[in-house]
């Protein structure tokens, strides 16, 4: 499926509630802000809680809120038209002010690819849903993300540090990590 | 065979042993915590991090030419292909068109690297199941490839021959002749490998029906490379997302459906034949041209995200670069094939015996620096 | 000439010592001579193994120390003797120290009954074969003790596997030898060789004898824990199996015992199947002391065969090992005995 049709079908799964019933009024702008959507209403196809983008990347990117992450992932895998059953890359990213995870998905039947990003602005105790019962490969990858970024995943069967020792202090791949002994900064 | 009786007067206890980190069969520093009941394995838990060198953090500080040098310490058996991955990512981001000569030479060297890695794998596979002489036979052929690399690229293991923009130096005048001689020699050796190991009854009994991986599990665990292809999942990156000169050659993808250890073994032997065929198609027609395109001394990728997939000897390596327009990447992630392949070890080794675990690990072909990065 | 020296020194001893202590003194001297010869022989067997392995693996092997490496194992033995005898603190010290002695003593005892020529046999009792089989069963105690008392899980796994394996394959060794005893009618080794004066036993009892020989070689290799049955000390799995925790001289005992066991199995096969010191078709009948060379030649050929197995085949898994014995070798063996009995009864033996 092309990116456009992917975007069309995925966005229909998460419509913004009550937006169709309201006229173009101030209340709509308020409701848009409450539902955490920050694209101007001038873009017609954006009637969903997800944020789509194709610039600066070779794949279709979806930015999703942490609350809808698990449902979106499950639908992406089980829906026959999208059928994203191959999670080939799960990376943690420190976006500067927020921490997040980037998922690269591929479908083994339709051979299309997709990128899903989720961000959380809580740097003290970031929590996200785990997808390891949808794709088994996520179990190890999420442990790695926890090890390096500190992002905890709910419902993960074995969330321990993977590479570093159990008593390591801090999360090395964050941008504000300081370690005068081990790091050489140019 | 259920070895534990249900008689309550005869209780057996599970015990834990550490296989590793120094162990002849784990191909590197991997510690496996095995929970065993007699001879039956109940749980396998890998304990990683013994060779973690924080490559991803170093990449955030280094320039792109320096990053290429870090990649060949990851999976040191397919070092050329790792280098190619980063160079391709950078070149695609900069929209830099490399000459045809460069593409063809990169593919030839990549396939030679794949053959060299599989030779070593075959030797170690025999050694793990007990036929110790196969190690020397595999290395004998690998030495010929190492000599070719030494003459052209300057090093035997960590080559760094690919740079963003092309190759570091043009190929040696003897390269074509030596590669052809090697191909002719190796074609007589693969049947010898078959007679020694593949057709051996003891070997077949050790590997057939052991460690079965179904196709759905392979996809869900993110397996790639020969491990996934032996279960019937067609995932060769060289076919679906071709790079360098791979869209100009024709080769068959090695697929098997049984998903057991013997199928994984056979897939790799078939890959040896396919790699030889790719080299033969390309070696006589290397186009003339420049071996390198000039890039700036300081490479700055435009703002954005870039993902490049290549097929190493172990599976699909992915390079994911997030760049903010500066001379270092903002975040660089290596999706290593061994990492996902290791996660399925617990799933397929449970219920088997320790001897089976060794055979399974030999066919999954783990290189631990690839996993630990 | 050597026999004359021995006879002369025998007479000299007899003339100079009291009655009862003569035989004891003789036995001690002979025992010491045997110990000396076979410790050195064990060392040379190790060197032979290393050269043969190197030949299979396209390399040269040790050839620097002494002429063609002949002094290599001397150097290794010197090193082993000078090593620190480590031991784990939690190991059961008495059993830990005792275990290697079981193994080496049972190996050396079996050497006493082998017939090198018709006069050169240390101990010719009338239950020769029975004695041999019984003695080689004692070695397994040493293995089990060594593995258990090391207080090491790997060693214990190795020892358990070895115990199971040895007990199972003793049956096949015994039964295949029994097949040949049906032809000779006696257990005494020198008489077995006498029977072979009209044709080696493997020729006399053609088909069942060949089957018995093959079963004997397979079970013999399994008895000595050599590849393809070396799950016990599978280097790529368990480190070193039951002798992981041993070092220095005690490790040397285990190591040496393995090679001497290999020699014994080959020697028994040479004696029972191939006529010990008899030359083929009696060509050197007139020079009796050449018998030693024939005996050693046949034994070393079979030792080479066992080494060939080791460096070519992968190893069998533990349950496949036991399946082979209990489900295949044992039934074949029993049927073979019946066939041989029928042959002897119907007098279908080939006499050369």
pLDDT for the residue numbered B4: 46
Whether B320 and A104 lie within 8 Å, measured CB to CB: yes
Whether C313 and B131 lie within 8 Å, measured CB to CB: yes
pLDDT for the residue numbered C121: 76
C318 touches chain B (CB under 8 A): yes
Q: How confident is the model at residue A48 (pLDDT cuts 50, 70, 90)?
A: low
Does residue A128 have a pLDDT over 80? yes
Interface residue of B29, B50, B307, B370 to substitute, partner A, most A CBs within 10 Å: B307
Residues of chain C contacting residue B140, judged by C-beta atoms under 8 Å apart: 58
Whether A57 and B305 lie within 8 Å, measured CB to CB: yes
Is the Cβ–Cβ distance between C243 and C146 less than 8 Å?
yes
C52 touches chain B (CB under 8 A): no
pLDDT for the residue numbered B357: 86
The DSSP output letter for C59 is: S
Q: How confident is the model at residue C352 (pLDDT cuts 50, 70, 90)?
A: low
- pLDDT digits over A78-96, tens only? 888 888 888 888 988 888 8
Nearest-by-Cβ selection for B316 from A88, A144, A164? A88
Least confident of A14-28, B78-92, B256-270: A14-28
Whether B129 and C153 lie within 8 Å, measured CB to CB: no
B17 vs C91: which has the higher pLDDT: B17
B232 vs B27: which has the higher pLDDT: B232
CB-count burial class (<10 Å; 0-12, 13-18, 19+) for B177 = exposed
Q: Count Cβ neighbours within 10 Å for each residue of A120-129 and write b for 16 or more, e otherwise.
A: beebeebebb
Nearest CA in chain C to B3: C319
Q: Which two tokens stand for residue C162?
A: 């070895």
In angstroms, what is the C-alpha Rg of chain C? Answer: 21
Angstrom distance (rounded) from CA C108 to CA C28? 14
A123 touches chain B (CB under 8 A): no
pLDDT for the residue numbered B112: 92
Q: How confident is the model at residue C29 (pLDDT cuts 50, 70, 90)?
A: confident
Report which of B259, B246, B295, B369 is spatially closest to residue B98, judged by C-alpha positions: B295
Nearest-by-Cβ selection for C234 from B126, B130, B137? B130
Q: Which helix (H) or strand (E) holds B40?
A: strand B40-47
pLDDT for the residue numbered A44: 38
Nearest-by-Cβ selection for B335 from A59, A88, A135? A88
Average confidence score pLDDT of chain A: 77
pLDDT for the residue numbered B24: 66
Angstrom distance (rounded) from CA C325 to CA C334? 12
In degrees, rounded to 5, the angle at the alpha carbon of residue C169 between the alpha carbons of residues C164 and C171 is: 115
Nearest CA in chain C to B195: C312
Nearest-by-Cβ selection for C236 from B128, B197, B206? B128
Angstrom distance (rounded) from CA B188 to CA B175? 21
The minimum CA-CA distance between A107 and chain B, rounded to whole Å, is: 10
What secondary structure does DSSP assign to B134-198, as a single string? HHHHHHHHHHHHHHHHHHHTS-SS----EETTEESSPPPTTHHHHHHHHHHHHHHHHHHHIIIII
Does residue C119 have a pLDDT over 80? no
- pLDDT digits over B267-313, tens only? 999 999 999 999 999 888 888 888 888 888 888 888 888 899 999 99
Interface residue of B19, B129, B139 to substitute, partner C, most C CBs within 10 Å: B129
Nearest CA in chain A to B323: A56
A103 touches chain B (CB under 8 A): no
Whether C58 and B140 lie within 8 Å, measured CB to CB: yes
Given the cut 0.90, state whether the ipTM is greater than it: no
pLDDT for the residue numbered A25: 42
For residues C246-250, give the mean pLDDT.
75
pLDDT for the residue numbered B26: 61
Does residue A133 have a pLDDT over 60? yes
Whether A56 and B320 lie within 8 Å, measured CB to CB: no
Q: How confident is the model at residue A49 (pLDDT cuts 50, 70, 90)?
A: low
Q: How confident is the model at residue C15 (pLDDT cuts 50, 70, 90)?
A: low
Task: List subunits contacting chain C, requiring 3 or more Cβ pairs under 8 Å.
Answer: B
Angstrom distance (rounded) from CA C172 to CA C326? 9
Q: Assign 3-class secondary structure to B245-292.
A: HHHCCCCCCCCCCCCCHHHHHHHHHHHHHHHHHHHHHHHCCCCCCCCE
Does residue B134 have a pLDDT over 70? yes
Q: How confident is the model at residue A76 (pLDDT cuts 50, 70, 90)?
A: confident
Does residue B155 have a pLDDT over 60? yes
Does residue A42 have a pLDDT over 60? no
pLDDT for the residue numbered C13: 60
Does residue B115 have a pLDDT over 90? yes
Nearest CA in chain B to C319: B353
Whether B130 and C314 lie within 8 Å, measured CB to CB: yes
Q: Do chains A and C touch (3 or more CB pairs under 8 A)?
A: no
For residues B207-220, give the mean pLDDT.
88
C4 touches chain B (CB under 8 A): no
**What domains does chain B contain, in order, with CATH numbers?**
53-372 (1.10.645.10)
C198 vs C154: which has the higher pLDDT: C198
Does residue A23 have a pLDDT over 50? no
Measured in Å, how far apart are chain B's first and last C-alpha atoms? 40
pLDDT for the residue numbered A22: 43
Does residue C320 have a pLDDT over 80? yes
Least confident of A17-21, A86-90, A92-96, B193-197: A17-21
**What domains does chain A contain, in order, with CATH numbers?**
3-154 (3.30.460.80)
The minimum CA-CA distance between A122 and chain B, rounded to whole Å, is: 20
In degrees, rounded to 5, the angle at the alpha carbon of residue B66 between the alpha carbons of residues B63 and B67 is: 85
């Amino acid at each position: 499926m092309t990116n456009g049709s992917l975007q069309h079908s995925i966005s229909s799964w998460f419509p913004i509630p009550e937006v169709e019933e309201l006229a173009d009024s101030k209340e709509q702008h308020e409701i848009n802000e409450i539902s955490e959507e920050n694209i101007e209403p001038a873009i017609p196809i954006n009637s969903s809680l997800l944020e789509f983008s194709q610039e600066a990347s070779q794949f279709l990117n979806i930015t999703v809120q942490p609350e809808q992450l698990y449902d979106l992932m499950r639908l992406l895998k089980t829906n026959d038209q999208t059928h994203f059953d191959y999670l080939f890359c799960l990376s943690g990213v420190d976006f500067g002010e927020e921490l997040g995870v980037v998922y690269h998905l591929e479908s083994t039947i339709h051979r299309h690819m997709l990128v899903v990003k989720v961000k959380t602005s809580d740097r003290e105790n970031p929590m996200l849903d785990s997808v390891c019962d949808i794709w088994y490969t996520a179990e190890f990858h999420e442990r790695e993300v926890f090890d390096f970024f500190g992002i905890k995943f709910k419902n993960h069967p074995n969330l321990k540090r993977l590479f570093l020792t159990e008593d390591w202090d801090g999360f090395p791949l964050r941008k504000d990590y300081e370690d005068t002994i081990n790091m050489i900064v140019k | 065979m259920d070895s534990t009786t249900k008689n309550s007067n005869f209780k057996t206890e599970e015990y834990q042993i550490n296989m590793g980190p120094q162990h002849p069969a784990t191909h590197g520093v991997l510690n496996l915590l095995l929970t065993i009941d007699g001879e039956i394995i109940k749980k396998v838990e890998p304990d990683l991090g013994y060779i973690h060198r924080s490559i991803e953090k170093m990449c955030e500080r280094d320039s792109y030419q320096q990053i290429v040098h870090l990649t060949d310490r990851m999976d040191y058996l397919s070092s050329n292909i790792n280098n190619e991955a980063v160079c391709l990512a950078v070149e695609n981001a900069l929209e830099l068109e490399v000459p045809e000569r460069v593409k063809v030479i990169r593919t030839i060297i990549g396939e030679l690297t794949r053959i060299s890695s599989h030779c070593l794998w075959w030797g170690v596979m025999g050694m793990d199941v007990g036929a110790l002489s196969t190690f020397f036979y595999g290395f004998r052929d690998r030495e010929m490839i190492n000599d070719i690399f030494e003459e052209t690229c300057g090093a035997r293991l960590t080559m760094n021959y690919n740079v963003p923009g092309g190759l570091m130096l043009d190929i040696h005048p003897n390269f074509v002749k030596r590669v052809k001689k090697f191909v002719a020699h190796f074609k007589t050796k693969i049947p010898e490998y078959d007679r020694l190991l593949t057709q051996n009854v003891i070997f077949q009994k050790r590997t057939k029906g052991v460690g079965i991986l179904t196709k759905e599990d392979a996809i869900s665990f993110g397996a790639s490379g020969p491990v996934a292809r032996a279960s019937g999942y067609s995932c060769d990156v060289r076919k679906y997302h071709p790079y360098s000169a791979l869209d100009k050659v024709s080769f068959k993808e090695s697929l098997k459906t049984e998903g057991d250890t013997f199928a994984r073994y056979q897939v790799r032997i078939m890959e040896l034949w396919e790699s030889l065929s790719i080299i033969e198609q390309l070696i006589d027609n290397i186009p003339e041209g420049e071996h390198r395109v000039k890039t700036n001394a300081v490479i700055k990728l435009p703002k954005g995200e870039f993902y490049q997939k290549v097929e190493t000897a172990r599976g699909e390596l992915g390079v994911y670069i997030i760049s903010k327009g500066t001379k270092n990447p903002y975040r660089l992630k290596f999706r290593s094939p061994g990492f996902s392949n290791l996660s399925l070890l617990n799933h397929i080794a449970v219920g088997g015996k320790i001897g089976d675990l060794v055979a399974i690990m030999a066919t999954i072909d783990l290189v631990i620096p690839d996993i630990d990065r | 000439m050597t026999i004359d020296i021995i006879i002369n020194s025998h007479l000299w001893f007899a003339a100079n010592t009291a009655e009862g202590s003569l035989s004891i003194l003789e036995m001690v001297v002979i025992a010491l001579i045997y110990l000396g010869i076979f410790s050195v022989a064990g060392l040379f067997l190790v060197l032979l193994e290393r050269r043969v392995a190197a030949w299979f693996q396209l390399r040269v092997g040790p050839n620097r120390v002494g002429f063609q490496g002949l002094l290599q194992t001397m150097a290794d033995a010197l090193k082993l003797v000078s090593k620190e005898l480590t031991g784990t603190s939690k190991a059961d010290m008495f059993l830990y120290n005792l275990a290697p002695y079981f193994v080496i003593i049972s190996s050396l005892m079996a050497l006493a009954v082998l017939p090198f020529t018709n006069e050169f046999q240390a101990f010719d009792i009338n239950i020769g074969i029975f004695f041999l089989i019984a003695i080689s069963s004692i070695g397994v105690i040493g293995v089990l003790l060594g593995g258990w008392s090391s207080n090491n899980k790997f060693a214990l796994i190795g020892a358990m596997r070895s115990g199971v394996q040895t007990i199972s394959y003793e049956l096949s060794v015994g039964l295949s030898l029994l097949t040949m005893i049906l032809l000779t009618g006696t257990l005494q080794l020198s008489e077995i060789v006498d029977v072979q004066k009209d044709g080696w036993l493997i020729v006399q009892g053609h088909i069942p004898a060949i089957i018995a020989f093959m079963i004997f070689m397979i079970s013999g290799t399994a008895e000595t824990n050599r590849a393809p049955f070396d799950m016990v000390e599978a280097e790529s799995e368990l480190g070193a199996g039951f002798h992981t925790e041993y070092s220095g001289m005690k490790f040397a005992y285990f190591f040496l015992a393995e090679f001497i066991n290999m020699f014994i199995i080959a020697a028994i096969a040479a004696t029972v199947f191939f006529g010990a010191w008899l030359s083929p078709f009696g060509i050197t009948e007139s020079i009796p002391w050449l018998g030693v060379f024939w005996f050693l030649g046949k034994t070393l050929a079979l030792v080479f065969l066992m080494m060939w197995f080791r460096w070519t085949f992968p190893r069998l898994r533990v349950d496949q090992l036991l399946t082979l014995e209990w489900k295949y070798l044992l039934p074949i063996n029993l049927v073979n005995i019946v066939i041989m009995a029928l042959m002897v009864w119907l007098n279908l033996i080939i006499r050369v």
